[in-house]
Structure 1
Amino acid sequence: MTMARYDQTVQDTAGNVIAGATVEVRSEIPGQPLAALYTDRDGTISAGNPLTTDSNGEFGFYCPGGFYKIVVTSGVLTKTRRYVGIGLAQGTDTGPVGGVQRKVTAAGDVTITNDDADVIVIAKTVGAATAVLLPDPSTATKPFRIVDGKYDAATNNITVTSAGTAKKIMGGAAYIIDSNGASITLTPLADGTGWV
């Protein structure tokens, strides 16, 4: 995976740069764990977290695209920035119009990963019921839209479930797409307990 780059200069209210400030970066997912940061674009050399600003008040790192919470601390000064979008494919509140699509034509079950396309179109070359597994909502950062692209879901249902322990979809164990050409957009709950 190629990492996204983030650079910033820390300044006080008068515009003076702050050298030696502590910078903590956390992922904007339930539990807000410390983010894995790197010094190289390939993500092979860890940068450590927290970071420290240099003599010019600057800091920078590479990380996977997404939303992050960045907290800068120096003496009595604390600056917190929430939902900082980093990278070209950063998280979104709603999928972009015409978002990235993945068309599934192969037989078998479909597993959606956290960094998967925004729209998953089920258009198998042979008619068959399909099981779709969403990622664990406690680690997911964006909604996914599942679409019956073969227009045969009334006969060949698409059953959507979620990874994780006792994770719910729309309050139940599964959501079934059973109308031809139907679709559903499922968004992870902020507390990580399911999808709505």
Structure 2
Amino acid sequence: MEKRYDSVIDLKGNAVEGATVRVQSYPAGALSTIYSDSLGVTAIANPLTTDANGYFEYYAAEGHYSWVITTNAATKTINDIVHGPSEGGDESFFVATGTGDAMIIASFPTGFALTDGDEIRVRAVGENTVTAPTITLPVIGALTIYKNGGDPLNEQQGGQAGTGDIHGAGHEITLRYRASPERMELIGVI
């Protein structure tokens, strides 16, 4: 079993309460059995519903999944979410330094490398105040962070905290590496 969690954010950077997140097999699209515990004892309702902070979490068996996220305004599908080991993917967690607009990952574990489609989870240093924040990665260098699909991020609005797509210090985000054009994509933002 592997735990997955994220937050659903709208185009203005606001958390979306009450969004549904359908976890399904990829590429078949069948509704998946998900659990509230790491042992896979207690099955939970699928689709999930986000809380007041747009947050959701679940455990699922090793495999490939997709999320179908539905809000009042849109439906977004995020494909090929890998639980457990895979041949092409490697997901790791890092704590960034720098600023919300220019995050830095100082080092990767020995032997760690990113290939196209790999994901990393990052604890952000602060909120993004620009539409094209960057993250500097070992060996790779500085990459611009976009939304999944390549759209620019929403920046902090009018100095109001929490309105950027990267909400602030401690916000844990998932970034997917894209080799061409080379960039990072923020996953889970619609």
TM above 0.5, yes or no, is no
Q: What range describes the TM-score normalised by the shorter chain of this pair?
A: 0.3 to 0.5
Higher Cα Rg, which structure: 1
Structure 2 length normalisation: TM-score? 0.44
The structure, 1 or 2, with the larger RCO (C-alpha pairs under 8 Å, 6+ apart) is 2
Structure 1 length normalisation: TM-score? 0.43
